[in-house]
Structure 1
Amino acid sequence: MDKKVWLITGISSGLGKALAEAVMNAGDYVIGTFRKDAQIEAFNLVNRGRGHAIFLDVTDHEKIEKVVSDIKRIDVLVNNAGIGFIGAVEETSTEETRTVFEANFFGVLKMTQAVLPKMRAQNSGHIVQISSHGGIKAFAGFGIYNASKFALEGFSEALAQEVAPLGIKVSLIEPGPFRTEFASSGLPEAKKVIYDYADTAGAFRSKLKGVHGKQEGDPKKAALAIIDLVNADNPSLRLPLGKVPLMTIQMKLDSVKADLEYNREVAENVVFKS
C-alpha cells in the first residue's frame, strides 16, 4: 500500500508534534505547518524523506489556498492548529473573541474547504478535526473557547453527512486535558477582569493555570489512537481522548436528556393539532 500523505497544521509542539512524529514512524508522509522559519529548517533537516515542513498561519486565508494548491495529494488533513482562551463571557472583548474564532473556526473551515476539491477528485480522504471535550460541554470561564469548538463540531457534523457519499471521512477528536503547553503561562486570557465572576470564571482561570504539567493525557498515546482511527475501516465521527472527557461528555448527555424529558409535554403542545 502506498504511503498516505498527511497535512497536519501546527506541529511545533503538543499533540500536533506527537502526531507528526507518530505518523512518520508508522511509514506515512507528513506535510506539517509551522509559523517560525527556524522550526521549519530544523524539521526539514532531520526528516528528509519522511516529512516536509512549510510556513502557514491558518488565519491567512490567501496563504492557505496557495499552500494547498502546491500539494499534489492529501490523504489526511488534520486541523490541529488553534488557540486556547480563558475569561468570563462578559469579560471578553469582541476583538479577543474574533481572534479565537479566526484560529479555531475560520482557519479550520478555510483549510477544510481548500482541501476538499482534492479529496473529491481522489474519491477518498479523511478530515480529522482536533476539537475538545469543551466542544461538547461548556465550562464557566471557557465560554468563548467553547463557542469556537461548538462551531467546529457543528459544521464538521454536517460535513460528514455531505461528503460520506463521496468517499471522504470526517472525525472529531475530543481530548480532555493533555500534558502539552496548552495551559502554560502563554495561555491567552481576557484582559478585563470582573470581580463578580471570581467564584466561577475566576476559579476556572486559577484551576486551569494550576494543572500545567499535571494533566492526565499522554500526547504520544493520543497520536497512536488517532492513527488507529484513520486506519479503521469504519472510523467513528467522534473520538473522546482521556478519562475526563468520558466524564464531562456523559454529564452533558445526561443534562440534555433530563431537559428533554422534563419539557417533553411542553414541546409536544406547541404544534398544530391535526
Structure 2
Amino acid sequence: MKNIRTWFITGASKGFGLSLVRQLLEAGQNVAATSRNLDALKAAVGVTAPNFLPLEVDLSNEDNVGCAIHQTNVAFNGIDVVINNAGYGIGGSIEELSDRETRDCFEINVFGTLNVIRTVMPYMRAQMSGHIINISSIAGITATTGWAVYAATKFSVVGLSEVLAQDVAEFGVKVTVVAPGAFRTNFLNAESINIAQHRIGEYSAVHGAQDLMLQKDGRQDGDPEKAAAAIIELAHLENPPLYLLLGDDAYHRAMTKLDSLKSEYLLNEELSKAMAYHG
C-alpha cells in the first residue's frame, strides 16, 4: 500500500467493517472506527496501537457523529477516506412492518450516512480532497420480494451518492457507492437483521422468500476479506468509479436489471414522449 492515509469507518465491529479495519491496520494506515459498543469493537479488533482510534458512536445523533469526526481530525490531522458501512437488514412487507421498525432502519442506513457526510465535508472541503465510500447493496439497485423497506434505504444510498458525487467534485472529493451481493458475514443473524414482528399469514410469497434467504446464512459465496481488499484498492485509484459491484451475483443481478429497465422504458416510448404542449 502506498502512502499513509486516515480512514473513518462506521459499523466496524463486524462484517465488512471489521475486515476493513484489520486489513488497514495491518498495512500501517491510520484508522478511526465506530461502533455502538466500544468494548465489543475493541475486543473484535484485538489491537491497541497509536494508529487505531476506536469510537463509540450513535450514528443517529448528529452531535455524536460530529464529535467523532472532530476527534479523528485531531488525532490524525485530517480525514482522507470515509467508509459509511454501518447498517442492518429488515425483512417484511410494508404492511407488516410498523412505522417504528421502518424509521429505525432509515435512521441508521440513511440518516446515519447523511450525518457522517454532513459533518465530514467541512474538513474535506478545507483540505480540497477526500473520498467518501457509501456501502449500499445490490438490493439498492434491484430488489427482491420481502425486503421492500431495506431496498428503500439502500436505493436511497445509491441516489444520494450519485448526486453527492456531482456536488462535491469541485472540492476534489470523490464518491463511490458499493453494491455487494451475498457475502459470508453475520448480516443474516439476529444482531444484524430485523424481521417484522407482526406477521400477516397471507403474505406467503414474502415469508417464503425470507425463509429461503435466511437458510443461506453461512453458505454465501462471497468472501468478506476479498470485498474489503477490493474497497481498499479502489480508494487508492486516482479516478475511482462511482459504482462498484461486489460479487458475481451482484454483477449478474445488476446486468439483468439494466436489460429489464430498457425493456420497460421502451415499452411505452411513444406515450412517454407525447407530453409536450402543441400549437
2:120 corresponds to:
115
Distance in 1, Cα, partners of 2:172 & 2:55: 28
Give distance in 1, aligned partners of 2:46 and 2:232.
Answer: 24
SS of equivalent residue, structure 1 residue 69? helix
Across the aligned residues of Structure 1 and Structure 2, the Cα RMSD in angstroms comes to 1.5
Kindly indicate whether the alpha-carbon contact (under 8 Å) linking 1:43 and 1:53 is maintained by their aligned counterparts in 2: no
- Residue of structure 2 equivalent to 1:140: 145
User: In structure 2, what is the equivalent of residue 55 of structure 1?
Assistant: 56
Asked if the contact 2:137–2:181 (Cα under 8 Å) also holds between the matched residues in 1, the reply is yes
**1:48-80 deviation line (CA, Å, top 9, x unaligned):** 033121111211222111111222211000000
CA shift, 1:263, in A, is 0.9
Distance 1:237 1:203 in 2: 34
Is the contact made by 2:13 and 2:44 (CA closer than 8 Å) also made in structure 1? no
Distance 1:129 1:167 in 2: 17
TM-score, normalised to structure 1, is: 0.95
Kindly indicate whether residue 192 of structure 2 is the aligned counterpart of residue 192 of structure 1: no
Determine the structure 2 residue equivalent to 1:170. Answer: 175
Report the AA paired with residue 145 of structure 1.
Y
| 2:14 paired residue number | 13
Task: Give yes or no for the alignment of 1:272 onto 2:268.
Answer: no
Q: Say if 2:126 is the partner of 1:102.
A: no
| Secondary structure of 2:7 counterpart | strand
Contact 1:43 1:52 in 2 (8 A): no
Among all aligned residue pairs of Structure 1 and Structure 2, give the percentage whose two residues are the same amino acid: 38
Gaps of 5+ in 2: none
Cα deviation, residue 246, structure 1:
0.9
Deviation at 1:40, TM superposition (A): 4.5
Does 1:180 pair with 2:181? no
* Long gaps (5+) in structure 1: none
Q: Is the 8 A contact 2:35 2:57 kept in 1?
A: yes
Match of 1:64 in 2: 65
- Map of 2:129 onto structure 1: 124
**Is 1:44–1:53's contact at 8 Å kept on the other side of the alignment?**
no
Find 2:263's aligned residue among 217, 239, 258.
258
Whole-angstrom distance in 2 between the partners of 1:68 and 1:12: 18
Displacement of 1:126: 0.2
CA-CA distance at 1:46 after TM superposition: 2.0
Q: Which runs of 4+ in 1 moved over 3 A?
A: 40-45
